[in-house]
Structure 1
Amino acid sequence: MCGRYSLSKSKDELEERFQAEMLTDFKPRFNIAPTQLVPVITSDSPKGFSFFYWGLTPDFGKNKPVSQKLINAKAESVHEKISFKNSFQRRRCLIPADGFFEWKKLGKKTKIPYRFTLREDDLFAFAGIWEEYETVSGESQHTFLILTTTPNEVVEEIHERMPVILNRSQEKLWLDKYASEEALLNLLKPYPTELMLSYTVSSLVNSVQNDSPGIIRKISPMDQFGNYTLFG
């Protein structure tokens, strides 16, 4: 499951990388969490950034057990499940990011947070699907899910799943409304191990209230007792 990611680049960097226009102000984000409103690029509007809720709106997000189930979709079955099939066929999106977080379990209580990035710390995009619905007050809301797949060798040491990361050429195909199902499914693979790296970060990332540059800063790994160590 991918439950937290970062987008620490500037508005100008985002517009340059994705060749899309952002009409609203954007501040770098270091600890993006479910239910928050964040930029995406949809197949309906590939030349501009839209702002959608990740998984659920804040109101629905109060139901934590539900919200945790509705932030990701498995790439292996997204084209078959009734709840996702229509979105996979018609409403695909890119979720810009520059890193994501997972936690390594040490003992029964300790979890060490890790950040995963591309080797050059470049911007990239997760493969996602989105949905539109009407709230009880009659307002239109948009939400998205991140697709996950089996992990590569970098991620598998920490977690059994990883988000689907697309390269630049794959991004265009993912947003192509006329792409075949076979071509789309072929994109949903683990990102090449040699192009990624990971490192431990501060436990500040554990709280969604924290959203500062210190969260993505590399720190020394800690052992299960919370002591700093030279060994990762």
Structure 2
Amino acid sequence: MCGRYTLAVSPDEVAAYLGLMELDAFPPRYNIPPTEPILMAVAGPPRQPGSNLPDRQALLVRWGFIPSWAKSPKDMPLLINARSETAAEKPAFKAAMRHRRSLVPASGFFEWKREGKKAAQPYYVRPRDGGVVAFAGLWETWSEPGGSEIDTGAILTTGANAEFAAIHHRMPVVIRPEHFSRWLDCRNQEPRDVADLLQPVEPGFFEAIPISDKVNKVANTGPDILERVEPAAQATEAEAEAAKPGGQGQLTLF
């Protein structure tokens, strides 16, 4: 799955990578959680003959997909991810998979490896060569009963490749630049025509870096949460903290 990610590259780099017009300035974001606004690239209106304008445009959406037919978000689970294997048939995502596919720029994402009863070990997963990557996304406009509208979105996931499966069994779908146009072309490309793109990225594309549990708190938004912390060192630090007077390893009234 993909429950947190980063976008810590410049707006110019994002615009150039996705083929967008100049983007408004935005700060680096090191710990993007669900329900916050996220950036997507979507297909723009048909390009006029002789126009040099990009045929893609930027869109800010709430990370948490709400189907257009939903009466209230309170009646829906928080749909931050969509399984690529079934999105074209699921009632929640079927229309968006056919008509509203998108690209989600990211510089990396987080995943947690669970082993028995131990606390989950977080990893920062980023392109081995750095830079920005595009996840496959879906978007939908939901209309509130009062008439206002909100754009919402989800990230598509697929089964993990052999390398990443040691951490988690799911991973985001990566769309390569040479396939951007085909993925976003919902006028001519049906879901079955782009199904071949919904595969796990090849081993070696990402690198997974063990980090501290600072990332677990959405309030921690600085670049320090991306620093490498080997699991053994983190366990030793936690044990030392618990052994202190009043630490987590002792009962105390104060």
Paired AA for residue 110 in structure 1: A
Moved more, 6-15 or 47-56: 47-56
Deviation per residue, 1:95-152 (Å, 9 max, x gap): 0001111111134241111011111012111101111011233211000111110001
**What are the within-5 Å matches in structure 2 for residues 70-219 of structure 1?**
70-177=79-186, 178-219=188-229
Distance 1:76 1:56, change over 3 A: closer
Moved more, 42-51 or 199-208: 42-51
| Percentage of matched positions with identical amino acids | 35
Paired AA for residue 152 in structure 1: N
Q: CA RMSD in A?
A: 2.2
Asked if structure 2 preserves the Cα contact closer than 8 Å seen for 1:154 and 1:198, the reply is: no
> TM-score with structure 2 length normalisation?
0.80
> TM-score with structure 1 length normalisation?
0.88
Asked if structure 2 preserves the Cα contact closer than 8 Å seen for 1:34 and 1:56, the reply is: no
Structure 1 residue ranges (4+ consecutive) displaced by more than 6 angstroms after TM superposition: none
Asked if structure 2 preserves the Cα contact closer than 8 Å seen for 1:94 and 1:126, the reply is: yes
Paired AA for residue 178 in structure 2: S
Q: Which runs of 5+ in 1 are unaligned?
A: none
Q: Which runs of 5+ in 2 are unaligned?
A: 46-54, 67-71, 238-254
Q: Secondary structure at the match of 2:112?
A: strand
Asked if structure 2 preserves the Cα contact closer than 8 Å seen for 1:22 and 1:48, the reply is: no
Give the aligned partner of residue 9 of structure 1: 9
Give the aligned partner of residue 30 of structure 1: 30
Give the aligned partner of residue 242 of structure 2: none
